[in-house]
């Protein structure tokens, strides 16, 4: 199942403005309300400093939330420059394990690693690639959240493909991908989740492509879906340049 091509830019822009209007206007409105409340607490004959401080705390929290939203939109439009170093794919996978352990156990997921030995190194940005793996793992966990009639299993595999590509895949036993969603999964702002942002997979795609790789999604023969990243090994990256 190939990822979708970029949608019509006008539609994307429309989606973007609706997203910003919803996600950023809401905290901005709340910031103004808390700011006004803060002024009222301070302007009392006996200023209520504790209440004023609580309003300021709320303002800080809302400001951080709004700036996180703006940051994630900007990272989609202009992915930050790659801090590329020589990396071992399996080390990257091991490094994200502590970061997802909590979600794995909270959702009663059994997580298995099947990592090939002796893989060649790749040239990549450790933090950005970790972000991709975390996203894929959390998506897999979320796709299994409502599954109660079979085991919730997440399998992370790495291997080498002929042609100079390393492959890492995240396979779940969740809902799988509905055919009508298949071509939109990687589009920015596409989400089927209540409260979802639809940014994770778009960000994954832009990071993997910035590494000269590709990301694919397909349904498994049994249950669930697999998300697969193909990344060039160092030799292949060097020849491509």
Gyration radius of the chain's alpha carbons: 21
Q: Does 190 bind ligand ADP (CB under 6 A)?
A: yes
Q: Which string of x and - marks every residue 48-87 that binds ligand ADP (by CB under 6 A)?
A: ----------------------------------------
Residue of closest CB approach to ligand ADP: 200
Q: Which two three-digit tokens encode residue 64?
A: 């951080």
Rounded least distance, CB 184 to ligand ADP, Å: 8
Q: Does 143 bind ligand ADP (CB under 6 A)?
A: yes
Measured from the CB atom, is 118 or 179 closer to ligand ADP? 179
* Interface residue with ligand ADP, options 69, 165, 166, 174 (CB under 6 A): 174
Q: Does 139 bind ligand ADP (CB under 6 A)?
A: yes
Q: Does 140 bind ligand ADP (CB under 6 A)?
A: yes
Q: Does 89 bind ligand ADP (CB under 6 A)?
A: no
Q: Which two three-digit tokens encode residue 19?
A: 């997203």
Rounded least distance, CB 19 to ligand ADP, Å: 11
Q: Please state the separation of Cα 43 from the chain's center in Å.
A: 44
* Interface residue with ligand ADP, options 43, 192, 209, 235 (CB under 6 A): 192
* Interface residue with ligand ADP, options 111, 177, 207, 208 (CB under 6 A): 177
Q: Which two three-digit tokens encode residue 14?
A: 């429309």
Is the dihedral angle over the CA atoms 232, 234, 235, 238 positive or is it negative?
positive
Q: Does 124 bind ligand ADP (CB under 6 A)?
A: no
Q: Does 201 bind ligand ADP (CB under 6 A)?
A: yes
Rounded least distance, CB 191 to ligand ADP, Å: 3
Q: Does 200 bind ligand ADP (CB under 6 A)?
A: yes
Measured from the CB atom, is 153 or 172 closer to ligand ADP? 172
Instruction: Tell me if 210 sits within 8 A of 79, measured CB to CB.
Output: yes
Site of interaction with ligand ADP (CB under 6 A): 135, 139-140, 143, 172, 174-175, 177, 181, 185, 190-193, 196-202, 225
């Amino acid at each position: 199942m190939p990822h979708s091509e970029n949608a019509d830019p006008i539609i994307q822009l429309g989606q973007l403005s609706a997203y910003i209007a919803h996600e950023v206007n809401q905290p901005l409105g709340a910031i103004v309300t808390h700011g006004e409340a803060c002024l009222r607490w301070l302007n009392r004959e006996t200023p209520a400093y504790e209440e004023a401080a609580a309003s300021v705390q709320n303002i800080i929290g809302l400001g951080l939330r709004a700036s996180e939203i703006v940051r994630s939109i900007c990272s989609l439009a202009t992915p930050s420059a790659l801090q590329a170093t020589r990396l071992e794919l399996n080390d990257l996978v091991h490094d994200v394990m502590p970061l997802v352990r909590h979600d794995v156990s909270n959702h009663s997921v059994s997580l298995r690693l099947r990592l090939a030995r002796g893989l060649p190194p790749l040239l990549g940005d450790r933090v950005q690639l970790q972000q991709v793996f975390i996203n894929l793992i959390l998506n897999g966990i979320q796709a299994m959240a409502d599954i109660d009639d079979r085991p919730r299993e997440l399998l992370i595999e790495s291997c080498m493909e002929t042609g100079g590509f390393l492959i890492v895949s995240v396979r779940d036993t969740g809902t799988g991908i509905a055919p009508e969603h298949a071509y939109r999964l990687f589009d920015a702002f596409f989400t089927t989740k209540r409260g979802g942002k639809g940014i994770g997979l778009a960000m994954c795609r832009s990071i993997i492509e910035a590494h000269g790789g590709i990301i694919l999604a397909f349904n498994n023969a049994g249950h669930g879906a697999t998300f697969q990243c193909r990344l060039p090994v160092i030799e292949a990256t060097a020849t491509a340049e």
